[in-house]
């Protein structure tokens, strides 16, 4: 991801960094190209506009134009603004609450929700020494609960025993009770998805939320779907409320627009990124590192 954007930007910046002097027109021309590159990377139009406006305000200032290496200063301003657009600081999953801490995973079918639930459970178990219980609340897809059980075995994390015929809210209640009795630190609730957002799904998510009062509600979205991922996040947030986003398939060759627009459009931090199918292919999202990668 980001390779073509990165190539485009380095082409644009090569033209200005070697020069000892830049006119306001030179800066504006470079920014027009940056704007085009971001739009081609599928970054939301409003986000691109506000980004280039902020860069322009700083970059056409006398300080830059008159500096010894004006091109480098423009690149640095773009870098800083990229970091700001991506959310400035890394925001880890927050577990600061009374145990067992409920984490609710939401998202469309196929976004990588179940895989991410298991990846995150593994990580919390291994890196933070948490005792984690996972439960699948997906009663619509017959194989869903079994899929989580198998992943749980694979990563060495407990899953709630499957009881046929229970509703998602019943399973969630049973998971919370089992976690209290078993002395678990974290309960991860893997909810059902759909191919698209519909009313029954939103109502189900609201009911589960009301029953479990999750400390984190993480929206899992497929980065390869670009602006659709951003729209999905916005819809889930307005109906259910999300505390953070996990972008999956960042290892794929998408254009990167979802990662770049998500924070600015939804106001919610990307907390983690999925970078592969393997159970350890989950990383923290560091705005600074992503900006470094994009600007080479």
* 110 vs 156, beta carbon nearer ligand GDP: 110
What string marks each residue from 94 to 113 as x (binds ligand GDP by CB under 6 A) or -?
-------------x-xxxxx
CA–CA gap between residue 274 and residue 120 (Å, rounded): 10
Distance CA 8, CA 257 (A): 14
| CB-nearer residue toward ligand GDP: 125 or 248 | 248
| Residue numbers 191-250 binding ligand GDP by CB under 6 A | 193, 248-249
d(CA 184, CA 176): 9
Q: Which stretch binds ligand GDP (CB under 6 A): 50-58, 129-137, 227-235, 273-281?
A: 273-281
Closest CA to 265 of 234, 221, 219: 234
Please report whether residue 269 would count as binding ligand GDP according to CB under 6 A: no
* Least separation in angstroms between CB 224 and ligand GDP: 9
Q: Which stretches of the chain are assigned E, i.e. beta strand? A: 101-106, 132-136, 158-159, 186-190, 216-222, 244-248, 270-274, 282-284
Cα separation of the two ends of the chain: 13
State yes or no: residue 136 binds ligand GDP (CB under 6 A).
no
Pull the structure tokens for residue 77. Answer: 């301003």
Q: Is 80 in the site for ligand GDP (CB under 6 A)?
A: no
The residue within the footprint of ligand GDP, chosen from 80, 251, 283, 284 (CB under 6 A), is 251
Among 38, 44, 85, 115, binds ligand GDP (CB under 6 A): 115
The residue number with the shortest CB distance to ligand GDP is 274
What tokens appear for 97 in the block?
A: 């609450």
Given 52, 81, 114, 191, the residue binding ligand GDP (CB under 6 A):
114
Q: Cβ of residue 112: shortest distance to ligand GDP, in angstroms?
A: 3
Helix, strand, or coil (residue 224): helix
Provide the CA 92 distance to its chain's centre, in angstroms.
11
Minimum CB–partner distance for residue 247 and ligand GDP (Å): 8
CB of 218 to ligand GDP, least distance (A): 12
* Residue matched to tokens 């960042």: 250
Residue selected from 3, 277, 280, 292 as contacting ligand GDP according to rule CB under 6 A: 277
Asked if the bond preceding 150 is cis, omega within 30° of 0, the reply is no
Q: Is 183 annotated as a binding residue?
A: no
Cβ proximity to ligand GDP, 146 vs 277, nearer residue: 277
What is the smallest separation between the CB atom of 196 and ligand GDP, expressed in angstroms? 13
Residue 107 assigned to a binding site: yes
Name which of 51 and 285 has its Cβ closer to ligand GDP.
285
Q: Is 192 annotated as a binding residue?
A: yes
Q: Quote the CA–CA distance of 226 and 108 in Å, as a whole number.
A: 14
Distance CA 185, CA 56 (A): 48
Q: Nearest CA to 294 among 32, 44, 12? A: 12
Residue 86, number of CB atoms within 10 A of its CB: 25
Question: Site residues (CB under 6 A) for ligand GDP?
Answer: 107, 109-115, 193, 248-249, 251-252, 274-277, 281
């Amino acid at each position: 991801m980001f390779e073509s954007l990165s190539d485009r930007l380095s082409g644009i910046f090569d033209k200005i960094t070697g020069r000892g002097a830049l006119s306001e027109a030179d800066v504006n021309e470079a920014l027009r190209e940056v704007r085009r590159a971001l739009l081609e990377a599928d970054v939301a139009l409003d986000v691109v506009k506000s980004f280039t406006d902020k860069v322009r305000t700083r970059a056409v200032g006398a300080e830059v134009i008159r500096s010894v290496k004006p091109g480098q200063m423009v690149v640095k301003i773009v870098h800083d603004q990229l970091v700001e657009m991506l959310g400035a600081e890394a925001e880890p999953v927050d577990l600061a609450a009374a145990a067992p801490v409920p984490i609710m995973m939401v998202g469309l079918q196929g976004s990588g929700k179940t895989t991410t639930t298991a990846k995150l459970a593994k990580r919390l178990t291994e890196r933070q020494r948490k005792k984690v219980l996972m439960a699948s609340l997906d009663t619509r897809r017959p194989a869903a609960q079994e899929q989580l059980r198998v992943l749980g075995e694979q990563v060495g994390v407990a899953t709630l025993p499957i009881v046929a015929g229970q509703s998602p809210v019943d399973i969630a209640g049973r998971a919370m009770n089992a976690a209290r009795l078993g002395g678990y630190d974290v309960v991860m609730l893997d909810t059902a998805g759909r191919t698209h957002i519909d009313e029954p799904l939103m109502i189900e998510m609201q009911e589960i939320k009301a029953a479990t009062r999750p400390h984190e509600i993480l929206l899992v979205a497929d980065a390869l779907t670009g602006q659709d991922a951003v729209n999905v996040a916005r819809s889930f947030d307005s109906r259910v409320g999300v505390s953070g986003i996990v972008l999956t398939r960042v290892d794929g060759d998408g254009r990167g627009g979802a990662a770049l627009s998500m924070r600015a459009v939804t106001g919610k931090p990307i907390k983690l990124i999925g970078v592969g199918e393997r159970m350890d292919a989950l990383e923290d999202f560091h705005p600074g590192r992503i900006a470094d990668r994009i600007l080479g």
